[in-house]
Amino acid sequence: MAIGKYHPEKIEGKWQEIWKKSGCFEVEADPAKPKYYVLEMFPYPSGKIHMGHVRNYSIGDVVARFMSMRGYNVMHPMGWDAFGLPAENAAIKNNSHPAEWTYANIDEMREQLQRLGYSYDWRREVASCRPEYYKWEQLFFLKFLEKGLVYRKNSPVNWCPGCNTVLANEQVEEGLCWRCDAEVEQKDMEQWFLRITDYADELLADLNKLDKGWPERVLTMQRNWIGKSYGAELTFSVKGSDRKIDVFTTRPDTIYGATFMSVAAEHPMVEELIEGYEKADEVREFVSKVRNMDRIKRGADDLEKEGIFTGAYCVNPVTGREMPIYVANFVLMAYGTGAVMAVPAHDQRDFEFATKYELPVQVVINPPELHEKGDVLDVADMSEAYADPGILVNSGDFDGMENEAAKKAIVEHLDGSGLGRMTVNYRLRDWNVSRQRFWGAPIPVIYCDACGAVPVPEDQLPIKLPEDAQARSDGKSPLPGMDSFVNCDCPQCGGKARRETDTLDTFFESSWYFLRYCDARNDDAPWDKEKIDYWLPVDQYIGGIEHAILHLLYARFFTKALRDTGFINNDEPFEHLLTQGMVLKDGGKMSKSKGNVVDPNAMINHYGADATRLFILFAAPPVKELEWSDQGIEGAYRFLNRLWRLVEDLQDVLQQAKPASFTDPASEAAKSLRRKEHETIKRVTHDIENHFQFNTAIAAVMELVNELYGVKDELRESAPQALSSAIATALTVLSPVAPHICEELWETLGHDTRLAEQAWPAHDESALVLDEVTVVVQVNGKVRGKLNVPNNAPKDDVEKIAMEQENVIKHIEGKTVRKVIVVPNKLVNIVAN
Ligand code: ANZ
Ligand code: ZN
């Protein structure tokens, strides 16, 4: 029976159906088997998968299939990060419910993923917007609340005075409302926070446990985000009053150079400081301007430094000098104490500020090179702050001290009078999880006038998002206006009460989905702990670098918080992390806004899923950027055709010559093919195992196919088993990359097994041994020829043959041979003079 031409569309659906029916990717926890958990970051169901997804999931699929063939019990799940703003916007546009749009998109995207032949255990699929899912995070919220890991506090939100509504960060464009272009303000509202800062130290310390499995770059980003800094809190008194202001500084050694003070616009003392000052209103105006600034811009390095004098002074505790107090736009209330002792000579921001407002600059740290010469840094020569280490000057008793040592000495000195203490500060802030949005998981809290904020009793979960809500055209959440949702009875006193209408940040859902996959259909509990014990940690996590900080940090925090609330036993969720590179087109990021998107569906229609997968895995190593290329996918398709034709051509021979018993090739050509076959196994295995170098693994298979083309006619009659064995190997090791075509050809060859369930082959080291090796011959270190000698020939024999070479004789003529060095299988060097 002829197998005909390669038509991917004829075979891909067929194999997807077979895999599904056989349930070969459906796994259960089985402590008798070694497990492997491969996870790709679950997508937001925007409607269409893009090439970035295809890349992410193809990488994961090769790992999953490879590890499964290696004998592991592999879990490979998929789901949907399904809450979020785009669904709300689509609902406003279509006058429908965000659920409709979301579920339709999920169906469409699931179908697209299925067309790519990924080895998911679809029984474990989760969609985070389903009550069966978010029910459990409402439970976690309550448990965290019980444990004091959740609290409520006043915090600024983006407020649009035009629309009279809260805006998500994504709805603020350059400080303006996306809808009405009004200037966005910051307004304080009561919101819910997760106490992630309680875990700051553990989150930081445990990064050291991940240093083998995570990219260094991501570890660094996490460290910086947590931002632990050692410093001191110093106390300054306000002139003419008994008030005190604490500052946080990492440079107590520079205190003699503190010439003014900067406080945040939100600093609680501002009103007291400006009391009685004739320009108090100007200060108030400045304060409100700064408070309304975009929070992100305010923290940026390139922010134009601005400030205003408050009319008040404080006193430098060591110099007695009066320091004017300013409100400055770059001082953040959320960091340290919200007040800074400004040392313009040694801090760049303070230097810029002092220059602008003509404030005094006092050098107190002398650069070592100047100090050696007996000079002192002159302010007049400074065009920027001197922030490096040095020797203290103009610092009273501390003069001449190295500044590092002076840090401790000065704090100890101040501590004596209660004016200073060593502290640790983190950049990390508690996580605000309140969103004033509709399409998110309701926060399970009830407000009662008599009892205050009361947790929803567990047996009332889930608090479902109403299905009859209409998205509002002004973009506001419909929840606060829905009596049926809002009105309820207080669980404590039974009186009339109101439900919380804020929903949870969508990062909440993505912080634990990898746990739910382990027991996704459990209706009685978030999961059975034994299953988590078996599957966790995720062995290989794969996703985009854009999630290097927040998502990974939140998921790590959740793991620890769920451990401490008794839900799991793990400290860290993800053992190995791979961040795949971006997919580029014409050197730029492939993106809708650039209009350079290549639609995976169109590629599958044209070239098939296998060619699409093959190209994307072949074009670059997974962590590098990948440039989309039409010729590239064309080439992938041609290679698959070539493989197909090879099998087609040899079909009759191969069906009879079963490779299983083949170990003893007769001819040279057969021997060499066998060597190539085992070399391929060795290389592919090594390349996938080490750093997932799929591109070189695929190149190795291509070489094997080339070799097969070269010898097939010669071996067709004489050694069909050699051909059969090599082809079986090519199909087996290529199958994780291009599973459909490999399964089809495997079947064509008469196998009644499935490649998906085949064991990964092991290479036979003896097949790699060469009969002959090439040895370089040198005279006095200069290459004079090359010799083919038997592999591992005795040194004396090799030396003898080398000495007989014409070119060698010529070069040692008239000289005495002093020494002959033989490096087995490599080199003969003859020393003569
Ligand atoms: C005096 C000083 C002198 C400072 C000097 C630096 C250099 P990191 O390293 O990021 O922790 N600072 C303190 N609180 C601040 C706030 N709320 N907003 C803006 N800046 C603040 O930075 C700590 C330093 O940032 C502190 O040390 C303080 O300036 C400033 F030569 O104090 B320093
Ligand atoms: Zn009550």
425 C-beta closer than 6 A to ligand 1: yes
Supply the pTM of this predicted model: 0.86
Q: Ligand 1: distance of its center to the CA of 309 in Å?
A: 19
336 C-beta closer than 6 A to ligand 1: yes
Over range 295-320, report the average pLDDT: 89
pLDDT at position 691 is 82
pLDDT at position 49 is 92
Over range 674-699, report the average pLDDT: 95
257 C-beta closer than 6 A to ligand 1: no
List CB contacts of 216: < 8 A, sequence separation 6 or more: none
**What would the two tokens of residue 649 be?**
């051509």
Alpha-carbon distances, residue 489 vs 116, 306, 446, 448 (angstroms): 50, 51, 8, 8
Min mean pLDDT across 101-105, 161-165, 185-189, 386-390 is at 161-165
- H or E element, residue 192: strand 185-194
- Whether 2 shows a pLDDT value over 80: the answer reads no
Distance CA 372, CA 208 (A): 40
229 C-beta closer than 6 A to ligand 1: yes
pLDDT at position 156 is 84
Distance CA 772, CA 539 (A): 43
pLDDT-based confidence at 568, cuts 50/70/90? very high
CB 399 within 8 A of CB 439: no
- Whether 663 shows a pLDDT value over 60: the answer reads no
pLDDT at position 711 is 94
341 C-beta closer than 6 A to ligand 1: yes
Over range 216-232, report the average pLDDT: 95
**What would the two tokens of residue 149 be?**
């890991």
338 C-beta closer than 6 A to ligand 1: yes
If we measure between CA atoms, which residue out of 109, 57, 52, 59 comes closest to residue 80? 109
Question: How many percent of the chain have pLDDT more than 90?
Answer: 77
Over range 643-648, report the average pLDDT: 96
Tell which one of 223, 250, 394, 425 to mutate to probe ligand 1, the residue whose CB is within 8 A of the most ligand atoms: 250
pLDDT at position 187 is 87
| Tens-digit pLDDT profile for residues 691-727 | 899 999 999 999 999 999 999 999 998 889 899 999 9
DSSP collapsed to 3 states, 65-123: HHHHHCCCEEECCCCECCCCHHHHHHHHHHCCCHHHHHHHHHHHHHHHHHHCCCCCCHH
pLDDT at position 657 is 63
Q: Ligand 2: distance of its center to the CA of 489 in Å?
A: 8
Point out the ligand 1 atom lying closest to the alpha carbon of residue 264: 17
394 C-beta closer than 6 A to ligand 1: no
The residue whose CA is least distant from atom 26 of ligand 1 is 249
Average pLDDT over the chain, rounded to an integer: 93
CB 252 within 8 A of CB 407: yes
Point out the ligand 1 atom lying closest to the alpha carbon of residue 334: 17
List CB contacts of 573: < 8 A, sequence separation 6 or more: 514, 515, 536, 537, 538, 541, 555, 556, 558, 559
Q: Ligand 2: distance of its center to the CA of 297 in Å?
A: 42
Q: Ligand 1: distance of its center to the CA of 556 in Å?
A: 28
Distance CA 76, CA 88 (A): 30
Q: For residue 451, which ligand has an atom nearest its CA?
A: 2
- Whether 4 shows a pLDDT value over 90: the answer reads no
Q: Ligand 1: distance of its center to the CA of 216 in Å?
A: 27
Tell which one of 248, 256, 388 to mutate to probe ligand 1, the residue whose CB is within 8 A of the most ligand atoms: 248
If we measure between CA atoms, which residue out of 344, 338, 279 comes closest to residue 311? 279
Over range 499-509, report the average pLDDT: 95
Question: How many percent of the chain have pLDDT more than 70?
Answer: 98
Q: Ligand 1: distance of its center to the CA of 339 in Å?
A: 9
Q: Ligand 1: distance of its center to the CA of 428 in Å?
A: 15
Q: Ligand 1: distance of its center to the CA of 230 in Å?
A: 11
403 C-beta closer than 6 A to ligand 1: no
| Tens-digit pLDDT profile for residues 242-292 | 999 999 999 999 999 999 999 999 999 999 999 999 999 999 999 999 988
pLDDT at position 658 is 62
pLDDT at position 591 is 77
- Whether 662 shows a pLDDT value over 60: the answer reads no
Beta strands at 420-426 and 228-238: parallel, antiparallel or unpaired = antiparallel
Question: Which DSSP symbol is given to 44?
Answer: P
The residue whose CA is least distant from atom 32 of ligand 1 is 249
Distance CA 646, CA 635 (A): 16
Q: For residue 492, which ligand has an atom nearest its CA?
A: 2
Q: Ligand 1: distance of its center to the CA of 370 in Å?
A: 26
pLDDT at position 664 is 61
The residue whose CA is least distant from atom 14 of ligand 1 is 336
Q: For residue 230, which ligand has an atom nearest its CA?
A: 1
Distance CA 50, CA 600 (A): 6
pLDDT-based confidence at 64, cuts 50/70/90? very high
Residue with structure tokens 């995720």? 538
Distance CA 632, CA 621 (A): 15
Q: Ligand 2: distance of its center to the CA of 454 in Å?
A: 8
pLDDT-based confidence at 665, cuts 50/70/90? low
